[in-house]
Structure 1
Amino acid sequence: MAYRNGVYAAFDGQGTTNPTQSDIKYYNLLKSWASGENFSYIDSHQKTRSVRDSSQAETLKRVLRERLSNSKVMLLILSEDSNYDRGFLNYEIEQALDTYKLPLIVAYTNIPPAIEQQWSTLEKRWPRALSERLNNYNSDKTLSVLHIPFAKQDIISALSSMTIHNKVYLGKKLVLK
């Protein structure tokens, strides 16, 4: 059995490898926060060999599954540009929730305070796999999801309280400050 101590960060690459034109900038910001003090972060992506966008789809999926199997939580970063059905993001969400039963922390970028409690605004960012699971959620399922702003302190707090070893079953509850 894998030692599940990593954080699996997922985001929409917007179909580009240019870091200034995709949500990878938020992943890079997360890694820079983790290099500072008071931020315990083990990156699941660093625990396996790297793959290129030009790799075969099955090779990419195999490496993604390996990373997920070594993870204690999935941190899903969603921006205004996140797409409903592009790339491997839906596959990652499906595997994380259905196969590996990971708790999910959904971190929303650039949320103005006035829309914090408006689901309709946040739902527009949800990829298909997340939308299907949250909109079809019922209380007998073990869906563990926490919704937060993409902010350093909120992420630190969420990562310390939501893991495969310590799940909180929140469903569609929005936890924004």
Structure 2
Amino acid sequence: MPPADLFTSSTLVVLKLDITLELNVPTRVCLPSLKVLHLKHVAYAADDSLERLIASCPVLEDFESCNWDKIRKLTISSRTLKRLTIINFIGDDVCVFDTVINAPSLVYLRYLHHVPNGCSLTANLYSVVEATIGSLTEFFKGISNVRSLHLVNDAVELNLLTFSLLYFLALE
């Protein structure tokens, strides 16, 4: 468990944790200067832990996380976020089923995440310029302004429907 001081620093600008731990974000969090937050191998104790953490970072520009074992609903909402990286290749039994991304300033999106059938996605991603996506999901509706799109995943099958969708988005 990280020290409580970690959640109340007025000078911390970059926080990168690459350690196996469960993060239980306290209700009182204050990270007014944090711009970069990378959490690898960090599990979240509850769905709202991450939401509270991001909400406490009013100038956050770069967020990366790679472990969603206990999260069923992923909510990322930040007006200042420019880079978002979400990575998870774990099976259906430990997967996020509801994703909400509200990041109107987002320019770069990297979403390499196993998306189960029935997953709900709500995204405000109209400012995204470059995207790397590991699954063909509802993201296509939200990234119509993207200039560079990378689709990565051995399981992705680009069929006629996909190309029709991409063509339709290019026309908008």
TM range (shorter): 0.3 to 0.5
Q: Which is richer in strand?
A: 2
Q: Which is richer in helix?
A: 1
TM-score normalised to the size of structure 1?
Answer: 0.32
- The structure having more radius of gyration, on CA atoms, is 2
TM-score normalised to the size of structure 2?
Answer: 0.32
